[in-house]
Amino acid sequence: MANQILLVNGPNLNLLGVREPTLYGTQTLQDVEDVVSHAAATHGFVVRAVQSNHEGVLIDAIHAAREDCTGIVINPGGLTHTSVVLRDALSGVALPVAEVHISDVRARESFRHFSYVADVAAIHVIGEGVAGYATAVDRLCALITGTSAD
């Protein structure tokens, strides 16, 4: 298996930098992908990125990851709180998962406090902005390689 990580960004994350910048900041999805690629490269990993507003596209990408990826970094967006099938896809591929949220979902509306992904993710990075993606990658690579995430 290659040293490849799948980066999954769910619905509406294509609007980063435009959608509610006071909540999500001004960095774009391309900035997220650049942050993740740079962080992964420092550990000898490459990244395949997917963003979709369609649940099935994300599930298909997760299923495909079992063939050539060693881990998954995911920001499921609103699917965090609604999608059992996304959770089951992550569980089904048996790869280590890092769940990322740009905002602190625990400090927002009550419906955002529950995550279907939480129990299948080994790593949770919440409320650290776009920089949280790098933290997630560092921790995921450490988990995969059995090294420290210093």
Judge whether 38 counts as a catalytic residue: no
Known binding residue 52? Answer is no
Average pLDDT of the chain? 92
Q: Where are the beta strands (DSSP E) in the chain?
A: 4-9, 46-51, 71-75, 97-101, 123-126
Known binding residue 148? Answer is no
Which of 24, 38, 116, 124 is flagged as catalytic?
24
Judge whether 133 counts as a catalytic residue: no
pLDDT at residue 22, rounded to an integer: 81
Query: SS3 for 127?
Result: coil
Domain boundaries, the chain: 4-145
pTM value surpassing 0.85: yes
Considering the segment(s) 4-145 as one domain, its CATH architecture is: 3-Layer(aba) Sandwich (3.40)
pLDDT at residue 8, rounded to an integer: 98
Q: Could you tell me the two tokens for 40?
A: 């992964």
Known binding residue 60? Answer is no
pLDDT at residue 111, rounded to an integer: 63
113 pLDDT tier (thresholds 50, 70, 90): low
Angle at 86 between CA 82 and CA 91, to 5 degrees: 125
Which of 38, 43, 54, 101 is flagged as catalytic?
101
pLDDT at residue 149, rounded to an integer: 65
Let me know: does 101 contact 73? Beta carbons within 8 Å: no
